[in-house]
Amino acid sequence: MRIAENIQYFEEQLKSSNCRLVAVSKTHPVEKIQEAYDAGQRLFGENKVQELVDKQPALPQDIAWHLIGHLQTNKVKYIAAFIDTIQSVDSLKLLKEINKRAAQAGRSTPVNCMLQISIADEETKFGMACEEAVALLQSEEYQRMEHIRITGVMGIATNTDDEDKLRQEFVCLRDCFRKLKESFFSDSDYFKEISMGMTSDWQLALQEGSTMIRVGSGIFGSRNYNK
Ligand SMILES: *Cc1c(COP(=O)(O)O)cnc(C)c1O
């Protein structure tokens, strides 16, 4: 895989949009991540805490790491000091833990968090309904949190090549974003992200208003889990 060329390709594709690229480096070694970094990439996504914790010290410290996979509350403490964004926040309980661990870590900046909204068929177990996100944001507990900041929403579409269905799901996430923006964040410029679109469907996601596409195999090649 020509990693540098792929990074440049996406840079070119996104340059006239306000959409950014998260390079999803899960299962790939630090050497490959360094190659993408050397080509100018600074946002990287991982889906497992252990893997992220292993890689992070070996790579440049100005990488903005995004956690994009399901996060168990008992693992927040391992990433709280350095994580830039947790895209996969799916409960108030998890958000409370992130807030607590961020405070303990003595960070100079809050942890950016995105609410994961379920937009797909059953197959994705994680994520909240948009109404649950509303309830979370209405809660007093959330309103007292000082060490996190909600920057937007994230969704994983159904694994299908049915374009109409994909488009519907992306529109559903965009509508949820708009609703939350209007109700809770109309004065906050930091609530601005709609993270949707992967290697197979990023063009559709971009058309429907994605501000962050998460691309793995389209940059690093296919993943070999059996290595
Ligand atoms: C693995 C993963 C991606 C990237 O998938 P590709 O199809 O390789 O681009 C994007 N988002 C999430 C949440 C993932 O787990």
What pLDDT score does 54 carry? 98
Instruction: List the CATH number of the domain containing 180.
Output: 3.20.20.10
User: Is 145 part of a structural domain of the chain?
Assistant: yes
User: Is 170 part of a structural domain of the chain?
Assistant: yes
User: Is 227 part of a structural domain of the chain?
Assistant: no
Provide the number of structural domains found in the chain: 1
User: Is 150 part of a structural domain of the chain?
Assistant: yes
Residues at CB less than 6 angstroms from ligand 1: 24, 26, 47, 68-69, 156, 198-200, 214-218
User: What Cα–Cα distance (Å) separates residue 124 from each residue in 4, 106, 108, 117, 120?
Assistant: 31, 34, 34, 10, 7
What pLDDT score does 227 carry? 41
Model pLDDT for residues 140-190, shown as the tens digit of each residue: 999 999 999 999 999 999 999 999 999 999 999 999 999 999 999 999 999
Q: How much distance in Å is there from the Cα of 179 to the middle of ligand 1?
A: 26
Model pLDDT for residues 79-122, shown as the tens digit of each residue: 999 999 999 999 999 999 999 999 999 999 999 999 999 999 86
Q: How much distance in Å is there from the Cα of 153 to the middle of ligand 1?
A: 16
Mutate to test the pocket of ligand 1, among 1, 9, 20, 24 (most ligand atoms within 8 A of CB): 24
Residue range 34-55: mean pLDDT, rounded: 98
Domain span at 109: 3-220
Residue 225 — pLDDT band, cuts 50, 70, 90? low
Residue 196 — pLDDT band, cuts 50, 70, 90? very high
Q: How much distance in Å is there from the Cα of 214 to the middle of ligand 1?
A: 6
User: Is 82 part of a structural domain of the chain?
Assistant: yes
Instruction: Please work out, in degrees rounded to the nearest 5, the angle formed at the alpha carbon of residue 218 by the alpha carbons of 59 and 48.
Output: 50
User: Is 225 part of a structural domain of the chain?
Assistant: no
Q: How much distance in Å is there from the Cα of 69 to the middle of ligand 1?
A: 9
User: Is 50 part of a structural domain of the chain?
Assistant: yes
User: Is 33 part of a structural domain of the chain?
Assistant: yes
Residue nearest to atom 7 of ligand 1 (CA): 199
Q: Where are the alpha helices (DSSP H) in 41-194?
A: 49-55, 76-79, 92-105, 130-138, 140-143, 163-184
| SS3 category, 28 | coil
Tally of CB atoms within 10 A around 222 = 9
